[in-house]
Amino acid sequence: MSSPNHTALLEQLEQVIHLQKRGEEEQGLALLHSLIKQYPGHSRPYFILGLTLFKQDKLTEASHQLSRSIAINPAEAEYHTTLGSVLAKMGKKGLAQSRWKTAIQLNPDRPEPYFHMGDSLIDSGQPEKAIEFFKKAVQADPNFQEAWNNLGLCQMALRLLDESNESYAHAIAIDPENPDCHINLAMNLLIQKDFERGWEEYEWRLKRQLSTLSFPPPANTPRWQGEPLTGKTLLLICEQGFGDSLQFSRYFAVLKKSCKRLILQTPSPLAPLFQQLPELDAVDSRMDSQQLADYYTPLLSIPYLLKTTDQTIPSTFPYLQPNREKVAYWRQRIPQATLRIGLVWEGKSLFQNDPTRLRSTTLEALSGLNVAEGILFVSLQKGEPGRQTLSPPPGMTILNLDADIQDFSDTAAIITNLDLLISIDTATAHLGGALNHPTWVLLPFASDWRWGIEQTTSPWYPSLTLFRQERPNGWQEPIDKMANLLKRRLEP
């Protein structure tokens, strides 16, 4: 039975929470501090204060208050779980995991610490370990949608695709309107070449208030839903990454056959490359553009609207062309060599909890490609990773063109002057494929949907050869395969 003092404390803590929900945070904090003075031996006010500071992103202060609550009542699992989350956000992953393990020992029936442990492990690129924690989280709470979703991500990362489908189905059953679960299911279906269901599920990305689009959709212009386009103007809007735009630009020529005018809105780094295409009547990079059209469509909805299967992927190559003047310019800039090989080893990080983000490597890891004298490596790496060329691996001759590459039309012209392009899964690999240029692509163990599961070739790009990790985080084997092929190529 609760004492009168304890009952009064709980009632006043409820008042604090009520004030916070009403947005009266200062009043809530004042009452909390008053309760701490009034009930110095009770842990709960310290916990509520720590939780409040955590929500305000005052992490150091939050950790202090939560530590005080634990000092008073070390047997409360919730306190350890919350302190673990604060420590994780502070970058103290090991300490955070220790707190979650303690919470599990104190109360093995609560799902939250299992979930946080799994989340931490998947973020560290350890999906095989994370799976067990997510499974325990959903066992403790079968309606824990985010745990089902992350379990599906881990299973995808380990190529357990049927199991991943089941996890996403559980997540969607809990909340059918959550777009993230549908999008992840779409990726799983597409990698299995279930294009009909995959494209349909992928349309859920647009439920995020069209936030995937590079440009806002035009006001008062309807989305194209597959209506006849004879005599019509269609506005195409690029979305997501540069690689997506390069991959799906293959549909421009297909659409131009059925409409009067075709207009593209695209980020400026892609614009000079696309402006050369005769099927496009206009290419616009302005955020405040007022292009008039009968319909608009996001670029990645086109396969869904045209009912693309793995047998009907547009296969005219090359479907992008380099600028002739730039090709001539770069021909003079790039020295002659026995073999000229372009390199890209790092791409942008993807979503934090996406295990497929582990697609990047290092220049040092690629040093095994230097199998003979006379090879000139040409770095197409943009940004900070390109600085690795300042101290290249011993014996590796590398030309860094970063400072002179202004946009993708420059990159296209450079690639045309190379014998071979070697790239991780990034936009440059898509550009090599669109140009129908010999391109070797290094893929992580859990590759993106467009590269399939085990094949070494791609239905999207006939000029690409795929080299896959045989185990998570293992780049040595695919790089060794590339090195052996290079040796054979250079044999007299």
Cα–Cα distance measured from residue 375 to residue 486, given in angstroms and rounded to the nearest whole number: 10
DSSP, collapsed to helix, strand or coil, labels residue 348 as coil
Q: What is the pLDDT of residue 24?
A: 60
Cα–Cα distance measured from residue 77 to residue 56, given in angstroms and rounded to the nearest whole number: 22
Strand partners, 72: none
Phi-psi region for residue 220, left (φ > 0), alpha (ψ -120 to 50) or beta?
left
Given a cut of 50, the residues of the chain with pLDDT beneath it are: 1-4, 351-356
Cα–Cα distance measured from residue 341 to residue 377, given in angstroms and rounded to the nearest whole number: 5
- The burial class, CB within 10 Å (0-12 / 13-18 / 19+), for 71 is exposed
Q: Where does 33-164 show beta strands of DSSP type E?
A: none
Q: Quote helix, strand, coil % in the chain, to nearest 5.
A: 50, 10, 40
Helix or strand (DSSP H, E) at 73 = none
- With beta carbons less than 8 A apart as the criterion, state whether 271 and 211 touch: no
Strand partners, 39: none
Cα–Cα distance measured from residue 492 to residue 484, given in angstroms and rounded to the nearest whole number: 15
* Residue 261, phi then psi, degrees to nearest 5: -130, 145
DSSP, collapsed to helix, strand or coil, labels residue 354 as coil
The reported pTM is 0.87
Residue 180 corresponds to which tokens in the numbers above? Answer: 């993230």
What secondary structure letter does DSSP report for 190? H
Beta strand 375-379 pairing with 282-284: unpaired
The edge-to-edge listing of strands for the beta sheet with 282-284 is: 282-284, 261-265, 233-237, 295-298
Q: What's the chain's length in residues?
A: 492
- With beta carbons less than 8 A apart as the criterion, state whether 322 and 435 touch: yes
Q: What is the pLDDT of residue 3?
A: 47
Domain with CATH 3.40.50.2000 in the chain: 324-490
Cα–Cα distance measured from residue 89 to residue 359, given in angstroms and rounded to the nearest whole number: 24
Residue 228: name the closest of 302, 295, 298, 282 by CA. Answer: 295
Q: What is the pLDDT of residue 382?
A: 87
Choices 3.40.190.10, 3.40.50.10860, 3.40.50.2000, 1.10.620.20: CATH for 324-490: 3.40.50.2000
Q: What is the pLDDT of residue 491?
A: 84
Cα–Cα distance measured from residue 184 to residue 218, given in angstroms and rounded to the nearest whole number: 28
Determine how many CB atoms are found less than 10 A away from the CB of residue 81.
24
DSSP, collapsed to helix, strand or coil, labels residue 184 as helix
The contacts of residue 443 (CB under 8 Å, 6+ apart) are 359, 424, 425, 451, 466, 467, 468, 469, 478
Quick one: 1-110 is in which CATH superfamily? Tetratricopeptide repeat domain (1.25.40.10)
Domain with CATH 1.25.40.10 in the chain: 1-110
- With beta carbons less than 8 A apart as the criterion, state whether 187 and 449 touch: yes
- With beta carbons less than 8 A apart as the criterion, state whether 142 and 167 touch: no
The contacts of residue 192 (CB under 8 Å, 6+ apart) are 161, 198, 453
